[in-house]
Amino acid sequence: MHDSPEGMEIPRPEHPRPDFKREKWLNLNGRWQFHIAPPKRGIRKVHKPPEEFSREITVPFPPESKLSGICETGFMNEVWYRRTFKIPRTWSGKTLLLHFGAVDYEAEVWVNGRKVGFHRGGYTPFSIDITGCASIGEKNEIVVAVSDDNRKGLQASGKQSARRKSFGCYYTRVTGIWQTVWLEAVPRTHIGHFRFVPSYDGSKIYVQLRLEGQRELAKAKVTFSLDESEVACSKKLLPSFHPTLSLETNGLKRWSPEEPVLYDVQLEALDKIDDIDVVNSYFGLRKVSVKGSYIVLNGKRKFLRLILDQGYYPDGIYTSPSDEALRRDIELAMEMGFDGARLHQKVFEPRFLYWADKLGYLVTGEYADWGSDLSNPFVREALLDEWIEVLERDFNHPSILIWTPFNERVFKRSDKDVMNFIRRVVKVTRLLDPTRPIIDSSGYVHVETDIFDIHDYEQDPVAFRSHYEKFGETGSGKDLWINFREESVEYSGQPVMVSEYGGTWWNPEHAKERKAWGYGKRPKTKEEFLARYKSLTESLLSNPRISAFCYTQLYDIEQEVNGLLSYDRRPKFDTGTIRKINTQVAAIE
Which phi and psi angles does 19 have, rounded to 5°? -85, -5
Angle in degrees, 0-180, between the axes of helices 575-582 and 323-335, rounded to the nearest 10: 60
pTM of the model: 0.96
Residue 229 CA: distances (Å) to CA of 224, 263, 313: 9, 10, 39
| DSSP three-state, residue 579 | helix
Topology adopted by domain 2-186: Jelly Rolls (2.60.120)
* Domains in the chain: boundaries: 2-186, 190-274, 300-582
**Type and span of the H or E element at 340:** strand 340-343
pLDDT at 45: 53
Cα 428 versus chain centre, distance: 18
Rounded-to-integer distance, Cα 93 and Cα 95, Å:
7
List, as one string, the DSSP characters of 178-193: -S-EEEEEE-SSEEEE
Q: How far does the chain reach from its first CA to its final CA, in angstroms?
A: 48
Q: What is the mean pLDDT of each run of 10 residues along the chain (589 residues)?
A: 55 97 96 92 63 93 98 95 96 95 97 96 97 94 96 96 96 98 94 91 87 78 91 78 82 94 94 86 96 95 98 98 98 98 98 98 98 96 98 98 97 92 98 97 97 98 97 96 95 97 89 82 94 98 98 97 97 97 97
Rounded-to-integer distance, Cα 461 and Cα 449, Å:
28
Angle in degrees, 0-180, between the axes of helices 323-335 and 350-359, rounded to the nearest 10: 40
Cα diameter, the chain = 74
**Type and span of the H or E element at 41:** none
Q: Give Rg (Cα) of the chain.
A: 24
Per-residue exposure over 228-245, b if at least 16 CB sit within 10 Å of its own CB, e if not: eeebbebeeebeeeebeb
Q: Quick one: three-class SS letters along 205-258?
A: EEEEEEEECCCCEEEEEEEEEECCEEEEEEEEECCCCCCEEEEECCCCCECCCC
Contact of 364 with 439, CB cutoff 8 Å: yes
Rounded-to-integer distance, Cα 527 and Cα 65, Å:
36
Q: Closest by alpha carbon to 27, among 104, 100, 92, 116? A: 100
Contact of 341 with 320, CB cutoff 8 Å: no
For 190-274, give the CATH class: mainly beta
Beta pairing class for 304-309 and 546-552: parallel
Residue 352 CA: distances (Å) to CA of 96, 173, 371: 27, 21, 24
Q: What is the DSSP letter of 446?
A: -
Contact of 404 with 300, CB cutoff 8 Å: no
Contact of 588 with 546, CB cutoff 8 Å: yes
Rounded-to-integer distance, Cα 330 and Cα 179, Å:
19
Rounded-to-integer distance, Cα 534 and Cα 537, Å:
5
Rounded-to-integer distance, Cα 242 and Cα 212, Å:
9
pLDDT at 369: 97
Query: What CATH number was assigned to the domain covering residues 300-582?
Result: 3.20.20.80
Contact of 386 with 429, CB cutoff 8 Å: no
pLDDT at 8: 58
List, as one string, the DSSP characters of 291-320: ETTEEEETTEE--EEEEEE---BTTTBTS-
pLDDT at 274: 73
pLDDT at 180: 98
